[in-house]
Amino acid sequence: MRKDLRPYWVKKLHLKFRYWYAEHFLRPACDHLGEHHTIMSPWYVSISGPNIRIGDCVTLIGEPTKRVKIGVWGREIDTGRIEIGDNVLVSPGSRISASDEIIIGDNVMMANSVYITDSDWHGIYDRTERDERVTPIYIGDNVWLGDHSVILKGVTIGENSVVGANSVVSRNVPPNVVVVGNPAKIVKELDPQREMRTRADYFADPESLARYFDEIERGLLGKNSFFNWLRALFFPTTRD
C-alpha cells in the first residue's frame, strides 16, 4: 500500500464530504438508516425501492466497477422489504434484491460480490410473470458470506454460520456450520460453546472508535505537506 500523502485536513474534508453525500442522497432512499454508518464511496452505492431499513454502524463499500446495490421491486406499489441489522459489512459488488422479504441479522459480513435474492423474477414457462409463491430469505446474526457466494430464494441461514467463497445456497443452513460448494453442503461444524468475537464487539463504543482512528490519522498525516501531495497527484511517478 502506498503512503497516504494527503494532509490531515484534506482527509478530514474528504470524510466530511463523504458523510454529507450519504446523508443527502442515501438516507432519504431508506425508511431508516442508522447512526454511525461508514459508507465508502457512497456515489457507488445504489439504494432503491420502498421499505428498506438499515441498522446502526453499517459499513457499505462501493467501488467504480463494483457498485453496492440494495433494491426492493415489490409485486405491487409499496410492497416488499429489506431489513439489515446493526454492524453489518457489505463489500464491493454485493447485491441484495428483494421481491417480498429479505431479513439480515446483526453483525453479518458479506465479502466481495455476494448476491442475495428472494425470487427468480421470471417463471420457467411464463417469463412475463413472477412465481406466485413467496420465498423470503432470513440470514441470522454473525453470519459470514464468502466471496461471490449466492443466497437463493426461500433460504434461512442460522446464526454464526459461514458460507464459503463461490458457494450457491439453495437450501436452509443450520446455525454454527460451514457450508461450501454448489449446491452448498456442510463441511464443518462450529463449537457453539466457544467464545466468538463479532462486529458487535468492534462497534461497542462507536464514538471512542472514531476518536481512536482520528488520532491515528492525525499522527500519520499531520506532517504531510499540501504542495508535496499536489506534486504526487500531478506527477505520480515521483511520489514518495
CA-to-CA distance for 133 and 237, rounded, in angstroms?
58
Are 196 and 160 in contact by the 8 Å Cβ rule? The answer is yes
SS3 for the chain, per residue? Answer: CCCCCCCHHHHHHHHHHHHHHHHHHHHHHCCEECCCCEEECHHHEEEECCCEEECCCCEEECECCECEEEEECCCCCCCCEEEECCCCEECCCCEEEECCEEEECCCCEECCCCEEECCCCCCCCCCCCCCCCCCCEEECCCCEECCCCEECCCCEECCCCEECCCCEECCCECCCEEEECCCCEEEEECCCCCCCCCHHHHCCCHHHHHHHHHHHHHHHHCCCCHHHHHHHHHCHHHCC
- The answer to whether the bond into 192 is cis (omega within 30° of 0) is no
CA angle 165, 168, 174 (to 5 degrees): 90
122 is catalytic: yes
Tell me the C-alpha distance between 44 and 21, whole Å.
11
User: Annotated catalytic residue: which of 14, 24, 32, 122?
Assistant: 122
Q: Which residues are catalytic?
A: 122
